């Protein structure tokens, strides 16, 4: 009985050999972290180490939220590009939360950039 | 490593899921190899334990998914955002939770059966134990099949060992001295091989995960792994006392040994709980350095 159980366990374990899995880390962004821009960017691009889904994306300036449209039902991807409204000169902070597509692990981060007047 | 309140709650729910799932599975294995040595009142108590742990595991699995949803947004509203739950379930967590629920449902058969063990309950126990392998850092390794099989073995062995502790305590409190001694001896004999496999497999997986030793051990993941290894060593020490010092004295009927045995089993439970809490932490909020 135990031998059969172990064999069944070994077979079942192959079903659980899922795809690649790790925490999705932000590899690069545009604007880049701490970038000092001379012109306002038209888009915000985030590139991750793994395919992920964006759960939360916030762009703030002086504590005020600037709306960015995020499709929570978008397919997982390693790179996302979001159109931005026209941004005034100043300092901006991007806060993001991503969910790795292969294991559901949540990663968060933030970075800042500025636009010179 | 920064932990928000929601991160900590998700880690707590995951730790409870680990403990209750491995506890239910381990209790079923215990009934399979020790049930004949017990009286019906003890078997009945262990079956009731399996039912309670199975139900708690199912609830903790659901709570974990809700809390992981809350960690995405960082607030309570995230817990009820179906798109967040969909992201988590659509990743490996959905398969893992499904397999666990199926396994726990089969485990529940052991609650209703009056036989020593039920074959389907054993399969359910194995499925529930191995469900955690559906999501894990080992899947980042290539090829993933070997580390996945090793992780499944690791989980089966962990369930055997940690899941036996509460049934051992029930036995130690309720049974006659001769029964306690016989159960301790039988468990100790089987545990020798199981723990050897557990350690070999665990160390093999660790070796596969470490790509570069210095960054690994200086990372949050590495430090938590070191804490886990420390607790495993402590658990091994206590188990060694049980096997080599107390069990022979139990078999000789020394009354002091029975009191000490209860205490060492309780100490093993505390160490086991800490191991599961540490594991829940490094599998939730951090990962191996790349």
Q: Give percent of chain B above pLDDT 90.
A: 74
Rounded to an integer, the average pLDDT of B96-108 is: 93
Which pLDDT score, from 0 to 100, does residue B183 have? Answer: 96
Rounded to an integer, the average pLDDT of B1-7 is: 84
Task: Identify the top-confidence range among A11-25, B105-119, B184-198.
Answer: B184-198
Question: In 10 A of CB B94, how many CB atoms?
Answer: 17
Which pLDDT score, from 0 to 100, does residue A11 have? Answer: 45
- Contact with chain B for residue A7, Cβ under 8 A: no
Which pLDDT score, from 0 to 100, does residue B114 have? Answer: 63
Which pLDDT score, from 0 to 100, does residue A17 have? Answer: 38
Nearest CA in chain A to B67: A106
Evaluate if residue B147 carries a pLDDT over 70: yes
Evaluate if residue A15 carries a pLDDT over 60: no
Which pLDDT score, from 0 to 100, does residue B218 have? Answer: 85
Evaluate if residue B161 carries a pLDDT over 80: yes
Contact A12 B286 (CB under 8 A): no
Evaluate if residue A43 carries a pLDDT over 90: yes
Q: CA angle, B152 as apex, B269 and B143 as ends, to 5°? A: 140
Which pLDDT score, from 0 to 100, does residue A22 have? Answer: 53
Task: Tell which A residues from 69 to 88 touch B, by Cβ distance under 8 Å.
Answer: 72-73
What b-and-e string marks burial along A65-101, b requiring 16 or more CB atoms within 10 Å of the CB?
eeeeebebeeebeeebebebeebeeeebebebbbbbb
Is residue B92 within 8 A of residue B135, CB to CB? The reply is yes
B68-87 pLDDT per residue, tens:
999 999 999 999 999 999 99
User: ipTM surpassing 0.90, yes or no?
Assistant: no
Q: How far apart are CA B139 and CA B158, in angstroms?
A: 19
From B29-38, B99-108, B215-224, B252-261, the region with the lowest mean pLDDT:
B215-224
- Contacts B81 to A, Cβ<8 Å: 72
The pLDDT confidence band at residue B145, using thresholds 50, 70 and 90, is confident
Q: Number of residue pairs across A and B with CB atoms under 8 Å?
A: 125
């Amino acid at each position: 009985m135990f031998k059969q159980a172990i064999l069944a366990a070994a077979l079942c374990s192959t079903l659980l050999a899922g795809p690649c899995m790790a925490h999705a880390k932000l590899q690069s962004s545009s604007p880049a972290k701490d970038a000092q821009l001379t012109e306002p960017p038209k888009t915000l691009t985030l590139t991750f180490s793994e395919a992920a889904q964006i759960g939360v994306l916030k762009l703030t300036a002086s504590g005020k939220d600037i709306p960015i449209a995020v499709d929570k039902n978008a397919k997982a991807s390693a790179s996302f590009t979001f159109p931005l409204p026209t941004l005034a000169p100043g300092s901006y902070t991007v806060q993001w939360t991503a969910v790795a597509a292969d294991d559901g692990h949540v990663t968060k981060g933030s970075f800042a950039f500025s636009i010179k007047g | 490593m920064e932990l928000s309140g929601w991160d900590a709650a998700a880690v707590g729910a995951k730790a409870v899921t680990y403990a209750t799932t491995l506890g239910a599975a381990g209790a079923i294995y215990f009934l399979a190899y020790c049930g004949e040595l017990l009286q019906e009142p003890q078997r009945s108590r262990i079956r009731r334990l399996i039912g309670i742990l199975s139900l708690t595991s199912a609830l903790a699995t659901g709570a974990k998914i809700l809390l992981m949803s809350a960690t995405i947004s960082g607030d309570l509203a995230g817990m009820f955002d179906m798109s967040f739950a969909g992201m988590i379930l659509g990743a490996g967590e959905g398969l893992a939770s499904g397999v666990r629920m199926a396994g726990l449902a089969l485990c529940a058969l052991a609650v209703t059966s009056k036989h020593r063990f039920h074959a389907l309950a054993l399969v359910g126990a194995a499925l529930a134990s191995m469900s955690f392998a559906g999501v894990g850092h080992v899947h980042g390794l290539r090829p993933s099949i070997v580390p996945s099989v090793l992780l499944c073995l690791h989980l089966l062995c962990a369930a055997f060992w940690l899941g036996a502790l509460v049934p051992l305590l029930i036995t130690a409190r309720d049974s006659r001295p001769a029964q306690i001694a016989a159960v301790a001896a039988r468990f100790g004999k089987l545990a020798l091989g199981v723990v050897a496999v557990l350690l070999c497999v665990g160390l093999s997986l660790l070796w596969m995960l470490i790509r570069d030793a210095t960054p690994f051990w200086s990372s949050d993941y590495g430090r938590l792994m070191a804490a886990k290894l420390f607790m495993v060593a402590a658990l091994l020490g206590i188990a060694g006392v049980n096997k080599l010092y107390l069990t022979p004295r139990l078999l000789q009927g020394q009354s002091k040994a029975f009191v000490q045995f209860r205490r060492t089993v309780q100490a093993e439970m505390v160490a086991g709980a800490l191991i599961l809490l540490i594991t829940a932490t490094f599998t939730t909020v951090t990962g191996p350095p790349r």
